[in-house]
Structures are given as structure tokens and as C-alpha cells.
Structure 1
């Protein structure tokens, strides 16, 4: 089970504004979400979003991506 409290401090969406699924990638090289996650995000339940966030935050991957995007 995913700890929902952990995800309350995160932005609503992991989108970093450079979506590569629009270019045909199955997984966005920017935020790490799958094409399905990107397209369904607005209708996903909080629990579904939390599962996605948990995967994206594994080993600090999403935070590293976010930091790299702000440097540019």
C-alpha cells in the first residue's frame, strides 16, 4: 500500500514541460510516465497517481530530472 501522506507535498503532476510521448515515445524521457499515465493523469484516482509517483521517485529519479530541467 502506498503512503498517501508522502505524496501530498508533491506537485499535482510530474510533468516537466518537455513531453516526449507526443513525439512517439512509450515513456516520457522527461518525467518518466508512460504514454497511458500521461493521457490518463487527469482522470486517475489519487491512489493511482500515488503509485505512479512512487515509481518515479524510486532512487530519486524524478527529483534528479526536475533539478536538471531547472538548471537549463
Structure 2
């Protein structure tokens, strides 16, 4: 039995960008390279990033 992939937004971006100043964005948890390469990544590569950032408690909206 195959599992249905999780439904996620197209990107983990929450418009709290800090990659100009930080190596890891405080909003989405992606690295500078992951942010810049996101549109070129395969779905499998994106899934790996999603798993990591979700495990680390991202994405975070600052209120």
C-alpha cells in the first residue's frame, strides 16, 4: 500500500526572511543555498528539506 505524500505549500517561506544576515532563515529554517535553489530542486530534494525543517520546529511566524 503506497502512502499519499503530505500536502504542503509550494514553499516553506513565511515572509520572515533573514538570509541576508543569517546562514539559516529564522522564518523557514532553510539555508541560504536551499532558499536560492528551491525552484530548481526536485520534489525528493524538497521533501528532505521539509522533513528537516519540520523536525526543527520550522516554519515559524513571528508575531
TM-score after normalising by structure 2 = 0.83
Deviation per residue, 1:17-70 (Å, 9 max, x gap): 01100x2211001110000000000000000000000001116x125x2xxx27
TM-score after normalising by structure 1 = 0.74
- Runs of at least 5 residues in structure 2 that lack an aligned partner in the other structure: none
Q: Which has the higher helix share?
A: 1
- Runs of at least 5 residues in structure 1 that lack an aligned partner in the other structure: none
Stretches (4+) displaced over 3 A: none
Whole-Å Cα distance in 2 between the matches of residues 47 and 38 of structure 1? 16
